[in-house]
Structure 1
Amino acid sequence: MASKVLGPSERVSGNTSPSGSASSRVSSPKSAKASAKLSSEGVSPKAKASPEKAKAKGEAKKPAEKAKPKSRSGKTKKDGKEQEDFATLIPPGTAFAALGCLRDVAENVDAQLELMIEKLELCCELFDFAKDDRMQEKDGKRFTLLEILAHWPGGEKPEKEDLTKPTKKSSRIQSSDEACNSATLVSSCGTESSELSGRHSSQLFNSAVKMIRANAFRTQLHKDRTPMDLLDGDDDEPLLEPTWPHLELVYELLLKIVQTKDLDIAALQGAGFDKGFVTVLVDLMESDDPREREMLKNILLKIFSKLSNFRSTVRRGIQSFCQRAVTLEVTEAPQCGLCELLEIFGQRIVGSFNTPLRKEHRDVLSEVLLPLYKLDFLSFFYSQLKEVVRSFCKKEPALTKAVASALLRYWPQCASSKQTIFLGELEDMIHQMPTQEFKSIAVKVSQRLAQCCTSPHSEVAEKALGIWRHQQTVRQTVQHSREEMPMVLSNLYTNVTQAWGQNVMSKTLDVLKNFMEADKELFDSCSSKHRKQADEAEKKDSQRRDRWAMLQAMHDRSRPAALARPTRTEVKSSSGRQQLPTNEEVMLKPDCSCAVALCWDWASEPKKEQLVLQAFMVNTDGKIVDSVHHQNVTAFQSAVRLTARAPAQNSRDTCSGTIWASLDLLPVDVAMVIYVVTSSMGSSLGSLAQSLALVVDMNGNVSLGEACAEVTSEAKLCCLGMLKRLDWSSWSWVTKTEWSKYRHFMDHQDLAGKVVKEVLPLVPKKQRGQTSYVAMAKGSVADCPALPATLPGSRVFMGLGWDFYTEATTRIDVAVVLFAADGTHIATVSKGGDSVNGSFHTGEGALSSGVFMELDSLPREVSMAFLVGHIESEDFNFSMVQQPHCTVIDSGGKEILRYFMQEDKKNSGTNRGLIMARLFWNQFHERWSCQALGIYHQSRCWPDSVEEMQRLVSMAPSSFQTLLLEDEDSVTRGDHRSTTAASSTATSVVMSL
C-alpha cells in the first residue's frame, strides 16, 4: 500500500490568527536578559521575591522546609513527595540544556511562560531514528518534553470564595507566589494579572499546536500486506513507529491540553486547533502502530466529551474513514484503526443521539456502517461494529429491519466464517424485530436459511438450523412464507439423507418436528410434494443415462476404426513412442510407479560436460521439502530414487539414468514432483544437446510417452514435466517447458513458484519455491539456496540439540571441525577456542549449542566442516541422550534443514561421540551442501575423533544412502531389498544406447 501523507491540508495550514503573530514576537533575548539579571545579582528567582512575601513564607513554612535538597538522581522534594527534575537529565552541551530549567523560574510567571515557549519551539526539530546518530540531541528533546509535561499549567481554577475569604486554606495558598501565579495562568479569575495570563496562554497554545503539528502530522509508512495476509495470520507483528519515544510525549501534551479545566477554547482555536486539526487526528488513526492508535483514541474521546463544537467534525471524520475502507480495491491492504474508531462511535457518538433519530443519523447506519459487513476482513472489527449496530437498534428498534435487509443483501457466498457471523447477527435482529417488520422480509430470510442448512460446512449448517429451533421463529416463517415451505422442507429432507455431520442431522430432525407442530397440514402437503419431485428426478436421471448409452453405441457402430483420426496423445515420435502434449494432464493408474529417464542427442561431438536429471518434491504449503540428484539419489525412504537404468526403447544417443517415483509410498503432504534438466559444469544446454526427451513409463515396462523439447541457446536449466497429485491416491503427469538462465532451481525461485502457483493457487507468494528440508533422513543431502559469492557476508548457523531421559544432566561439547579436500585438519570452532574468520561458537547450552559460520569468509582450502558433539563425563554416554537433532539456519533466519536421529540404543550404548552432519563444498553446482550423518563413535573429545572424520572426508555422499527399491520391474513392491546407493548408480552416469 502506498504511503499516505497525513500532513495539514490547505484549510489547516492556511488558518492564521492574531495569536500566531503574538507568538512570533516572543523572543529568547527577553528571557535571557531576565535570567542574566537574576544571576548577576547572585540570587535565584525565588530569592528575588518581595520581603513581605518572604516573611509570609517564613511564617508559613516549618524550619525543616526552608531548603529543598536535591538528590543526585535529579529528584527534588516538594510537599513531602519526590518529583523528578527532568531538566537535570538533559545532556549538557545541547541546545536544550542551554535554555535553562523551568523550575528555576517557577516564581516568575512571565519568565516561565517565555522559557516554556522557547522549549516548545525547539522541540519542533525532527530527528531520524533510523540512524544511530545525534543521540544526545534525541535524549535532550525527550527530557525537555517530559519537563514541559511536568510544569504544564493545568491546575484547577480556584473558586471565587476561596480567593476572598480569609480561610486557613486560602491563606496558605495566598502565601505561596507559585500557587497564586498558577491560578492566574490557567484562566482569567478577575484579578489584575488576568490580561497577562490570557495573552501568554494564547502564545503558549500557539507554540504547543505548532510543535504538535511538526511532530505528529507526518508521512505514514504502512506495512506491505494484502487481505490474504490478514486471513492467513501473517500480519501478527505490527509496524512500530520509530519516533515513538518523542511522539508519545507529544500526544500526552495534546491530551493534557484537552483535559485542562476552564480551557480557553477561543485561544485554542486561534492557535490552530481547529476543525482541520481534528480531521487530521482522525486520519492519523490509520497508523500501523497500535500504541499510537490507542493514544489517539483517548484523545478523540476527550475532544468529543469536552469540546462540543468539534463533535460533528469527529463524527464526520470517522464516517469518512469508514467509507474509505469500504471503497478499497480487492488487492489493496485494509486500513488499520477501524476497531478503535468504531469503539469511539459506539461509546460516545451513538449515545449522544437524541431519540427519535434524525434522518441523517439513520443514513449513517445504512450508508456508512452497514456496508462494512461486506469487507473480507470483517472478523477483525466485527465485535466493535456489532456493538455500534446494537446501539442504533436500542435507540430505534425499527432499524432492525434495515439491518437484516442489509445482511441479506451483503450475504457472503463462499466465506463460511463470514456466513457464521451473518447468521448470528441475523438471529439477533429477528428476535428483536416486531412481527409486522418481519413479515416483509420473511421470504428472503427463509430462502437464505434453507440454503445455509444444506451447507457442507457443519458450523454454518448448525447455526442456520439453530435459528429455526425457536418456536416463535418457526411460526412466523410458516405464517409469512407459505409459498417457500416446499423448498425449505425439501432442503431439510436432503440434509437428513446427505448430511455428513451427526449434529447437523439431529438438529435437522428437530427442525422438521417444529415445522410439523406449527402447521401439520402444510407440512404433509409439502412432504408429499417433495416425494413426488424426488421420484421424478430419479426417473429423469435414469432416462438420461439410458439415452447416453444408446448414443454411445450408435457412435461406435457408425464410425469405423479406419476413419478415426489420431488424437494429440496418439502422435508418434521418432522413437516410436507417443508424444505427450504440453500443459495437458495424462492420468496415471492408482498405486503405480512412474519412471522418468532423460535422453538427448549431442549437439556436436561428445564433451566432458553432460546433462543430468533432477527432481524436487513440493508439499501442500508450496515449499521444496526434498530433492533427488546425483549426490542425493534417494528421498522419502526410496519413494523417489535415481538409478542407472535406461529405457528399453529409445532412439537418442545418450541417457543419464532414470528417476523412479513410487506414488503410493510418497507422503500425503507431497503435492507434486517436478523434473528439471541442468548441466553438470554450468554450460548452456544448447551447447550440449540439440533436443531433449523425457521418457515416461509406468512400472518400468508400460510406455506412457515422451516429452520432447527443442533446446534454446542460452538456457542452463529446463523444467520438462511434473507429477501432480489429484487426491490421496490419484496422480497425473503434466508436460511443461520452462527455461531458466540459472544453474540450480533453488537460485531461481520464480521458476518453481510459477509451477507451484498453477497447482496451488492459494499458497502465499513468499512460500512458493522456498526450501525447507525439515524431515531429512540419514544420508540425505540439502543444497544451500544461494551462492555465497552472490550474498556477501552470508552466515549460517549450525546447531545441535538434545534432551535427556533422566533428570541428571551433563555437558555436551559441540564443535565444528574444518578439513581440506585431502583430509588435512585446518581449524576447529569450539567453546573457548579461537574463531575462524568470522565463525564463532555460541557458547555452552543446557539442551543446545551451535556455531555461526561466515561461508564466504572461510579459508579457500576448506572444503568440508563436520558438526560433532562429545560427552566428556565417564558416567554418561549417548544412550542417555534423547533424540539428538541438528538444524541449519541461514542469515535471514530461515531454517534450511532439520535432522532428527532415530532411536538407536544398540549403537549409542557405550559411545560418547557423535558426528551429526557435515557441510561440504559442492563442486557440481559451486555451492555449499549439507548432509545428515548421525554416526556414533568412542571418542570423548573432538581431537580424538579427527581420524574418524578424515576417513569420512573421502567418502561420497551416496555412500551413506540406502535404496530400498531399485528397479520396479525387477524388484517386487514387498521385497524392499536394501542396496547402497553407491553400488546402484555412479555419480551421474552417461550411457550410450
Structure 2
Amino acid sequence: MGAEVEVVRAPAPPAGGKRRSTTLLHLLNLEKPAGVFVFTAAAGAVKLPPPSPEPEAESLIDKIASCCRVFTFAASEHCADERDLKRARLAEILAAVRSSAKPPGLVLLDHRVMAALVKMFAANLFRAMPPPPPSACPLSAEAGGADAVGAEEQLQAGASSLLPSWPHLGAVYDVLLAAVAASDAKSLRAHVDRRFLTSLLALFASEDPRERDRLKAAYHALYSKLTPERAFMRRSMANALLRFTDEATSSSPSACSGGVGEVLEICGSIINGFAVPLKEEHRGFLLRVLLPLHRTRWLHAYHRQLVYCVLQFLHKEPALAGAVVQGVLRRWPVTNCQKEVLLIDELEEIVDALDQRHFDALALPICNRIARCATSSCSQVAERALYVWNNERFLEMASSGEGTMERILPAFVASIEANLEQHWSKCVQQVTASVKALLQQVAPGLYDRCAADLAARRAEADAEAAVRAARWRRLELAAAANSSSTDVPRAEG
C-alpha cells in the first residue's frame, strides 16, 4: 500500500488589518484559493508538482532527427513510401517553425530545437557538387544560346540541371528560411557559425536555378540577422567572385561553376545600404572584384546584376566614375561582339548616372570607343553604337557641355563617313544616315568643319601614300637594274 494521504483544509484568513503573512502556508493559500492541500503522512511535507513536460518540442525534435536521412531519388532506390513520409514530416516541421513566430507560439525554437534544425540542414544541403559539363556555363538558365548549341540541346541541358531531389531540398530550404525569420539574432549566432556560412555559400555552385534562388534568399536573410558576421560574409562573397574570375580567365575546367548572378544580387542589396562616404573596403570591392568580372567570357550570364552593383556605387560616390570607365575600357573585348553590345549598354547607363561635370571629363574616352564600335564589321555592334545618339540624356550633355561637342564629334564624323562609303550592311548605312542628319541639325557648322578637316586629312594621307608608292617603285626599278648589270653569264666548259 502506498503512503497515507491526509487532506487538510486551510483555515480562513483572519479578519482585520493585520500584517500580511509570508509563511509557507500563506503562499500556498495564494496558490490554491480553495484551500485544499495534499500532504503525505510519511514525508509530512508539501509535494510540489513536477515540471510541465513539453510534448510538442520533443515530438518536433524527433521529426527533425528523422529527416536527416538523405535520399538519392535514384531509380534503383525502392523506398518511395519513406520519401513521401519525409516530405510530410518536413511539411509538419515547416508549419511548426512558422507557428513559433506568431505569439503565442506553439513551439519555441529553443536551444535543442535549433541544434536539431542546424544538424538537419547540414545533412540535407551540404554535399559535393558534380563537375559541370564541358559546354555548360554559370547560371545556364540565364545564359541563352551564347555557345551556338541547338535549341533541343539547350532544353535537354536545362532539364538535366534540375535536381531530382528537389521535393526534399525545396522543403528544407523553406524550413531554413522560416527558422531564420522566427529566430532572434542571439539564437542564430549561437548555432550558425562561420563554417556553416562558408558551406552555405559553396552551394551557389548548384546547377539547379531553383536551389540558387532559395539559397540567395536564405543567405541574404542570414546577413540581415547576423550583424557581427557581415564583414566575414562580404569577404567570403568577394573571395568567391575573385576565384570565379581567375578560373574563368585561365580556362579552368571548373570555371563554369558558381552562381555569380545570385551572389551579385545579394551584393547589390548590400551596396544599396552602404553609408556615404564609402569606406575604403567598399571602394576596393568595386575596383578589385566587380570591375575584373567584365573580362570573363561568361559576362552575358550576370551582366545585368553586375551593372546594378556598379551603378549603386556611382550613385553614392560619383567621383568613382573615372575609375569605373577606365576599368570597363581596359577590359574591352577584341573579337566577342556580344560582349561589345553589353559594354556599350553599360557605358550608356553610366552616362545616364553622371552629371554634366563628370561627363565632360569622361566624354572623350567614352565617345572615342563608341565611335570605333560604330564602324565595326558586326552590324549589331555598329547599330548599337549609333543608337547611343537616340539617348536624350547623352545628346543633351554632349551638346550643352562647354567644348564637349568639339572634342567628341571628329571621331563620330570619321565613323559616319566611313560607314556611308564602305559598310556592307544596308541597315547600318540607313542608321548612319539618320545619325548624320541629327548631328547636322544639332551642330551644323561644326559638322561641316569636321567633315572638311576629315577630307583634308584624307587628301594629305593619300598624297603621302602616293609619294611612298613612287619611292618604292623607284627603289624596285633601281634594284632590278642593279641585279641585271651584275648578272654574268656562265662560261661554257
TM over 0.5: yes
What is the letter of the counterpart of residue 479 of structure 1?
G
AA matched with 1:317: S
Question: What TM-score do the two structures reach when normalised by structure 1?
Answer: 0.38
Q: Distance in 2 between matches of 1:250 and 1:149?
A: 8
User: 2:324 aligned with 1:408, yes or no?
Assistant: no
Q: Do structure 1's residue 301 and structure 2's residue 228 form an aligned pair?
A: no
The change in CA–CA distance for 1:550 and 1:472 in structure 2 (over 3 A counts) is farther
| Structure 2 residue corresponding to 1:232, chosen from 148, 163, 182 | 148
Aligned in 2, Cα 1:303/1:125: closer, same or farther, shift over 3 Å?
A: same
> Do 2:245 and 2:296's aligned partners in 1 also have CA atoms closer than 8 Å?
yes
Alignment deviations for residues 395-425 of structure 1 (CA, whole Å, 9 cap, x no partner): 3333333322222111112111211111122
Structure 1 position 148 matched with structure 2 position 93: yes
1:362 alignment partner, SS class: helix
- Assess if the C-alpha contact under 8 Å between 2:399 and 2:405 holds in 1: no
SS at match of 1:125: coil
Supply the distance in 2 between the matched residues of 1:109 and 1:373 (Cα, whole angstroms): 60
Structure 1 position 273 matched with structure 2 position 200:
no
User: Relative to structure 1, is the Cα distance of residues 411 and 155 closer, same or farther in structure 2, using a 3 angstrom cutoff?
Assistant: same
Q: Distance in 1 between matches of 2:188 and 2:261?
A: 29
Q: Secondary structure at the match of 1:369?
A: helix
State the distance in 2 between where 1:490 and 1:520 align: 11
Q: Is residue 342–residue 385 contact of structure 1 (8 Å, CA) maintained in 2?
A: yes
Partner of 1:315: 234
Report the 3-state secondary structure (helix = DSSP H, G, I; strand = E; otherwise coil) of the residue aligned with 2:403: helix
Query: Does residue 242 in structure 1 map to residue 164 in structure 2?
Result: yes
Report whether the alignment pairs 1:506 with 2:433. yes
| Match of residue 289 from structure 2 | 368
**d(CA) in 2 for partners of 1:475, 1:426:** 18
The aligned counterpart of 1:133 is 77
Per-residue deviation, 1:281: 1.4
Partners of 1:462 and 1:503 within 8 A in 2: no
| Change in CA separation of 1:127 and 1:551 when aligned onto 2, cut-off 3 Å | farther
Contact 1:420–1:459 (CA under 8 A) maintained in structure 2: yes
From 456, 462, 466, the equivalent of 1:535 is: 462
For residues 398 and 515 of structure 1, the distance between their equivalents in structure 2, rounded to whole angstroms, comes to 29
**CA distance in 2: counterparts of 1:120 and 1:146, whole angstroms:** 11
Quick check: 1:222 aligned with 2:131?
yes
Give the aligned partner of residue 31 of structure 2. Answer: none
What letter corresponds to residue 121 of structure 1 in structure 2?
Answer: A
Which residue of 44, 52, 66 corresponds with 1:122? 66
Between the two structures, name the one with larger relative contact order (CA 8 Å, sep ≥ 6): 2
What is the correspondence of 1:239-638 to structure 2 with a 5 Å cutoff? 239-260=161-182, 263-270=183-190, 272-328=191-247, 329-332=250-253, 333-346=255-268, 348-468=269-389, 471-475=395-399, 479=403, 489-500=413-424, 501=426, 502-507=429-434, 509-510=436-437, 513=440, 517=444, 519=446, 523=450, 526-537=453-464, 539-540=466-467, 542-543=469-470, 546=473, 550=477
How high is the TM-score relative to the length of structure 2? 0.73
Amino acid at match of 1:415: N
Distance 1:484 1:390 in 2: 24
Which amino acid in the other structure matches residue 83 of structure 2?
Answer: K
Task: Decide whether aligned partners of structure 1 residues 251 and 354 sit closer, same or farther in structure 2, where only a CA change above 3 A counts.
Answer: same
User: Following TM superposition, by how much is the alpha carbon of 1:120 offset from its aligned partner in structure 2, in angstroms?
Assistant: 2.1
Contact 1:202 1:267 in 2 (8 A): yes
Measured on the aligned residues, the alpha-carbon RMSD in Å equals 3.5
Q: Aligned-pair distance for 1:122?
A: 2.9
In the TM superposition, what whole-angstrom CA distance separates every residue of 1:446-496 from its partner, at most 9, and x where no partner exists? 432332222112222233233356544544788259678766544443233
Higher strand share: 1
Aligned amino acid, residue 430 of structure 2: N
The residue that corresponds to 1:976 in the other structure is none
Residues in 1 aligned to 2:401 and 2:462: alpha-carbon distance in whole angstroms: 27
Conserved? CA contact 1:357–1:396, under 8 Å = yes
Residue of structure 2 equivalent to 1:707: none
- Give 1 or 2: higher helix fraction: 2
Residues 474 and 273 (structure 1), Cα distance of their counterparts in 2 relative to 1, 3 Å cut = closer
Equivalent position amino acid for 1:127 in 2: F
Aligned-partner Cα distance in 2 for 1:389–1:461: 25
Structure (1 or 2) with the larger CA radius of gyration: 1
Letter in 1 for 2:273: S
1:528-549 Cα offsets, whole Å, 9 max, x none, are 5324334325524753784597
Contact 2:277 2:317 in 1 (8 A): yes
- Rounded Cα–Cα distance in structure 1 between residues aligned with 2:482 and 2:222: 82
Q: Aligned-pair distance for 1:134? A: 4.0
Residues 489-528 of structure 1, C-alpha deviations (whole Å, 9 max, x = no match): 4444323321223224414533662685363685366235
Paired letter, 2:315: K
Is the CA contact (8 Å cut-off) linking 1:215 and 1:250 kept in structure 2?
A: yes
Alpha-carbon distance change, 110 to 489 in structure 1, aligned in 2, over 3 angstroms: same
Distance 1:154 1:278, change over 3 A: farther
- SS of 1:124's equivalent? coil
1:202, distance to aligned residue in structure 2 (A):
0.5
- Where do 5+ consecutive residues of structure 2 fail to align? 1-51, 138-144
Partner-residue secondary structure (3-state), 1:414: coil
Q: More displaced, 119-128 or 538-547?
A: 538-547
CA distance in 1, matches of 2:319, 2:445: 27
Query: Counterpart amino acid of 1:342?
Result: L
Give 1:266 shift: 3.0
Counterparts of 1:227 and 1:266 in 2: how far apart (Å)? 41
Partners of 1:417 and 1:232 lie apart in 2 by 12
Is contact 1:342-1:388 (8 Å) kept?
A: yes
Quote the offset at 1:320 in angstroms: 2.2
**Contact 2:188/2:226, CA 8 A, preserved across alignment:** no
Q: 1:211 is matched with which residue: 114, 120, 125?
A: 120
Q: Provide Cα deviations, 1:104-131, integer angstroms capped at 9, x if missing partner.
A: xxxx852332232233223223333335
Cα distance between partner residues in 2 of 1:264 and 1:546: 87
Query: How far apart are the structure 1 equivalents of 2:295 and 2:409?
Result: 29
Find the residue that maps to 1:330 and give its secondary structure. Answer: coil
Describe the shift of the 1:308–1:423 C-alpha distance in structure 2 as closer, same or farther (beyond 3 A): same
Measured at CA, do residues 476 and 491 of structure 1 come closer, stay the same or move farther in structure 2, by a change above 3 Å? farther
Cα gap change, 1:401/1:381 in structure 2, threshold over 3 Å: closer, same or farther?
Answer: same
Residues of 1 paired with 2:286 and 2:365: CA distance?
Answer: 21
1: CA distance, partners of 2:209 / 2:238: 21
Return the letter of the residue paired with 2:370.
Answer: L
Residues 549 and 334 from structure 1, CA distance in 2 versus in 1: closer, same or farther, beyond 3 angstroms? Answer: same
Q: Give 1:232's aligned amino acid.
A: A
